Amino acid sequence: MPAWIVSKEGVYPVPDRFHSLPNHSLFALLFASFVPLAGCMPTAYKITPISADQRLQETTLIDEGGLSPAKIALIDVDGLLLNGHKKTFFGEGEQPVSLFTEKLDKAAKDSRVEAVVLRVNSPGGSVTASDIMYNEILYFKQRTHHCRPVVAVFMDVAASGAYYLSCACDEIVANRTTVTGSIGVIMQMVNFYGSLDKLGIETDAIKSGEMKDAGSPLRRMTPEERELFQKLVNQFYDRFVEVVAKGRPNLDEQKVRAIADGRVYSASEALELGFIDRIGSLRDALQDVKDRLGATHVKVVTYERPSGYKPNIYADAPPGVTQFNMLNVTLPPDLAALEPQFLYLWSPGH
């Protein structure tokens, strides 16, 4: 008989990998799922059927009515941008790059969609993920013959890689309290050499080449390795500067380099520097798009997996976001990994 997990969101089957657990272990797992609910009695349980077809479905957020209203697709860019699946308690979640591309594809194939608004709330992520998403926006504009405007709206944080991909948009609007910028590259590395030495632990590596274990956390970095990694970081930084200079009409490469030292800026500072086009809310941006299209009425839609209810244009804060000093900053578990990573990321404390 199949086992089920009950939560406030519904009833779900126990994942296959837990079926091999002894009965008492499985019972403990199921019991743990009830514990958070027990203190909130009385509690009602709802069984929500989930469609077997997991293709994106369209949800209407705003419908102003009228005859053939202009359709605007609202697409989220949130959380840590990685070219890999986000981890969840019971397995792997969505792949940010894939999901973003899937949503753009759906908007491109719908001839009724006349514009796209990106709701950006992200500190950035990996160099490759940011660049792929940037190029997917350019590809969307190319395949729609540059007839459908793409506007980025910055929410709490739109920094580093999130700003990078936004430079492919036709316009950037930021909320007055947005933090943005952080133009730069970081390669965060860890060194346990001192701790291992105190514990009397020695490490050694058999390698085919001198640089094969470059970046190892088990020993000190050599000057040659630092030079190698610095060269790569500089190349990725040059690419970032190139993208910003190309996407921002009032900035050239020299101006970008003069102000792109990795720091973040407030919306008013970003506007003065030319990083954004205007300060406004999400509703302001939607009204701008409406005016740009010359539309009397609009219909704003979003794309979600089946069972994802969206009551309005502000629904769904990005997962895995922690509030620090009024700034939403994603704390990525991936940064705890030992392997070196090149990141377009603003993440204080890492």
> What is the token pair recorded at 174?
């930021």
DSSP-based three-state secondary structure for 95 = coil
- CB contact at 8 A, 314 and 285: no
Residues making up the chain, counted from first to last: 350
The C-alpha angle with vertex 137 and arms to 131 and 142, in degrees rounded to 5, equals 125
* Residue found by looking up tokens 């009602």 in the block: 44
Q: Which of 122, 126, 130, 160 is catalytic?
A: 160
Q: Residue 304 phi/psi, 5° resolution? A: -145, 160
Element (H, E) at 272: helix 267-273
Strand partners, 91: 88
Question: For residues 259, 262, 265 and 271, what is the CA-based torsion angle, rounded to 10 degrees?
Answer: 40
- CB contact at 8 A, 350 and 187: no
How distant, in Å, are the alpha carbons of 16, 17, 32, 36, 235 from that of 26? Answer: 12, 11, 10, 17, 51
User: Catalytic: 160?
Assistant: yes
User: Catalytic: 255?
Assistant: no
Other CB atoms within a 10 A radius of the CB of residue 55 amount to 10
**CA 331/CA 320 separation, integer angstroms:** 7
Q: Which of 8, 46, 109, 212 is catalytic?
A: 212
- CB contact at 8 A, 120 and 154: yes
Element (H, E) at 57: strand 57-63
- CB contact at 8 A, 179 and 329: no
Cis bond leading into 42, ω under 30°? yes
Question: 189: buried, middle or exposed (CB in 10 Å: 19+, 13-18, 0-12)?
Answer: middle
Active site residues: 160, 212
